[in-house]
Structure 1
């Protein structure tokens, strides 16, 4: 079961809760976690808020498109609800980046969602080339 919480703290109403839920649900299935009772929060925030979060938790005084904050790890013997964490996405920043990189914004938002979820599950593209490739492979698998 998926306990999904969605909060939109922006004026941007381009993307619905259902858009993100479908992506998270597909990812959970593709990752073989559908038998787990997972709690995930996805929050759309403005540039000021994501910049504050980035500075406070990462020491980077600049906005970004996605941040993930894991709460707990998923293990094979989990029986109850496992709150795995919170994903924060900044639609304004994501739209600018998509335009600059000539990428479809819907595809970019889907990728940011999956990317954030994988970080919640412990994947880290910055730790090694091997881990980066593994994370990229999973992102492609989920999004195709």
Structure 2
């Protein structure tokens, strides 16, 4: 399937939280006016800033969150979760010393590992040698959705 036939969605989520203990009765009409104004503002900005979009979906939810807890926990690095570069070259069985990734090292990696290294380079978790071929390879895999 060509890239331009793959469905693409930009999803942004905003939550407005009323602080606990705030003694105010938020009337339905005032809340709906706020929703209408926010939707109109996002629609106007969306059309200007993301002109490729054909439509916009609006989800409006009003709830009492008696318990709402979200926790993100980091799992140990592994070959499967793409945290290669953060481990260093020795940890993925490359004999060279740790340091900037070389073209020879990168050429021994599969596509999944190259995407992981490109991600780590983008987030500053590792470096690559300053070489046009290395930079081109990393750029290719940083754009790859895999």
* Bucket of the pairwise TM-score, normalised by the shorter protein: under 0.3
Q: Which has the larger radius of gyration?
A: 2
In terms of fraction of residues, the more helix-rich structure is: 1
Comparing both chains, which one has the higher relative contact order based on Cα–Cα distances under 8 Å and sequence gaps of 6 or more? 1
In terms of fraction of residues, the more strand-rich structure is: 1
TM-score by length of 2: 0.23
